[in-house]
Amino acid sequence: MNSNKITPQTARDFSDLPRGVQILENLELNKGSAFTKRERDALGLHGLLPPHVSTQDEQVERVMRNFKIKATDLERYIFMISLQQRNQHLFYRVVLDNIEEMLPILYTPTVGKACQEFGNIYRGAQGLYISANDKGRISDVLDNWRYPNAKVIVVTDGERILGLGDLGANGMGIPIGKLILYSACAGIPPSDTLPIMLDVGTNNESLINDELYLGLKQPRMRGEEYDLFIDEFIQAISQRYTEAVIQFEDFGKSNAFRLLNKYRDQVCTFNDDIQGTAAVVLAGIQAAQILKKSSITSEKFLFLGAGGAGVGIANLIVSALVQDGMPEAEARERCWLMDSKGLIVRSRINDLDEFKRPYAHEHPPIGDLHTAIEQIRPTSLIGVSVQHGSFTPEILQKMAEINQCPLIMALSNPTSMSECTAKEAYKHTGGRAIFASGSPFAPVTIHGKTFVPGQGNNAYIFPGVGLGILVSGARHVSDEMVLAAATALGDQVTQDDLNLGRIYPPLTNIRKISVAIAAAVTEVAHEQGIATLAMPDNLKQHIQDNMFSPDYPIYVK
């Protein structure tokens, strides 16, 4: 493990830095054509760069010109990842200055296509691959990571990548993308982040038969062998990186809840698909109440999809209702879930996964969504089904028939899996729907009014939660911390946003949003006695002052 690595933060003066081609090949230190004349003199760069000294703004303009002429979003993704591997500061400056344009490329929906093509577009190491072949030596594998102080770790086993299913080792694109957002949105230094792919095999036959697939070509590890592997991984990580938060990402439903419940009180960990998604959805629900001139206590929710995301959202809604004074049993009865076999009801209790059972209510079985809406009469319809087009015109019309302002949340990712489009939601409800989606949609004009759809993007939540964990030194991630994050996000929605029909704030404010969430999470961690670091005098200012900046360091004055 190289603990003497030179970074802009550790270099005492230019004599500590590599010179010539070496500094140009160092993604953390490279400034490209922006090295000043003094720096070029001191660092042996004359002749290795064009004579013009560029400003970072000029470099951003050059990047964006090239970005815009790429023919496809996948090409834009490859272009940006290549920039990240050459010039880290410029990459994050471009991302922050163009956040609404960059997020759909570096995150959902394009990251899904990038994962599908990962073996074909692989450019080089960006994280750690820990495979089933590494059983018994995971700690040794961790020694090979280039940074000694990882504080935010995102890990997947590739079994449920977005709505695309089992992508095996190709799922590495997800931890890479998530950690880009940690640095861009919450200012976590990139050197403090670690993407990890746990390659335990794949059941995707097309990958196993693909000669260019880079992962293990064997069936997925299951049962006790899998559990022992994960346990060795968690122990190795917690011993190596004692201050780190571990974010579980895109695990299959059979493991997601189980692993979260097993480890959440042992190490500092959370599952973004379960808790992050829940927080961003709850924030949107709370903002929608202003448009409805109503209260969350008067809502009734029907979910299409009862996996980790659906049940996680329902659990957090129940927590919010209980916090507002509603008995827990009554709060659970406000949440109705449908899975592939129909409405989750008491008569199915013995055939249900344990995490679904609290939502098995007394009701005759229902097999289709339209009938469920007719009988349950929900005020909000939440889609986490990965079933494209499942919110049909008839479904949307029925929601509008029984509600003046139905809340329609088509959250499945990527866009190709969305339950409906924004245009469909507004068109088939006569412009009365309050709409949000998992992937971005363009504004829609209906009856002379333009609506700006909200995107229930987890990028609003998990970077700020992770930042709050680091600021507080929290030992664990409590449900109250997640609830506080949701409330903090909802508080960022302005009347101007609501006037556009948007129930989330613009992503251009993402660093301000992350600071607010981090502060709320920190305060709860202290209130609950699980913080290990002292509360700063000026919390929000302290957070802002310690965020990673994409501005270039000055090596020679």
CA angle 536, 537, 539 (to 5 degrees): 60
Last residue of a domain, one of 459, 483, 517: 459
Domain holding 72: CATH number? 1.20.1370.30
The reply to whether 107 belongs to the active site is: yes
Residue 172 lies in a domain: yes
Structure tokens, 256 = 């997601």
Q: Please give the single-letter amino acid code of residue 456.
A: G
The reply to whether 552 belongs to the active site is: no
Q: What pLDDT digit, counting tens, does each position of 337-387 carry? A: 999 999 999 999 999 999 999 999 999 999 999 999 999 999 999 999 988
Within 10 A of 233 (CB to CB), how many other CB atoms are there?
Answer: 22
Segments in the chain below pLDDT 70: 1-14
The answer to whether residues 346 and 258 belong to one domain is no
Domain holding 127: CATH number? 3.40.50.10380
Of the residues 31, 113, 151, 178, only one is catalytic, namely: 178
The model scores a pTM over 0.85: yes
The answer to whether residues 111 and 245 belong to one domain is yes
Is residue 307 within 8 Å of 384, Cβ to Cβ? yes
The answer to whether residues 61 and 83 belong to one domain is yes
Residue 551 lies in a domain: no
Last residue of a domain, one of 433, 459, 485: 459
- Total domains present in the chain: 3
130 dihedral zone (left: phi>0; alpha: psi -120 to 50; beta): beta
The answer to whether residues 139 and 194 belong to one domain is yes
3-class state of residue 556 by DSSP = coil
The answer to whether residues 213 and 294 belong to one domain is no
Q: Which of 37, 27, 36 is nearest to 6 (CA)?
A: 27
The answer to whether residues 421 and 317 belong to one domain is yes
Residue 441 lies in a domain: yes
The answer to whether residues 376 and 392 belong to one domain is yes
The strand pair at 380-383 and 454-455 is best described as unpaired
Look at residue 393 in the predicted model and tell me its pLDDT: 97
Q: What is the DSSP string of 184-231?
A: HHH---GGGEEEEEEE-----HHHHT-TT--S--SPPP-HHHHHHHHH
Q: Please give the single-letter amino acid code of residue 203.
A: N
Of the residues 92, 107, 263, 460, only one is catalytic, namely: 107
Look at residue 12 in the predicted model and tell me its pLDDT: 46
3-class state of residue 145 by DSSP = coil
Task: Give φ, ψ of 455 to 5 degrees.
Answer: -110, 115
Range of the domain at 190: 104-267
Last residue of a domain, one of 417, 432, 459: 459
The answer to whether residues 204 and 122 belong to one domain is yes
* CA distances in angstroms from 167 to 49, 115, 152, 208, 293, listed in the order given: 41, 7, 23, 10, 43
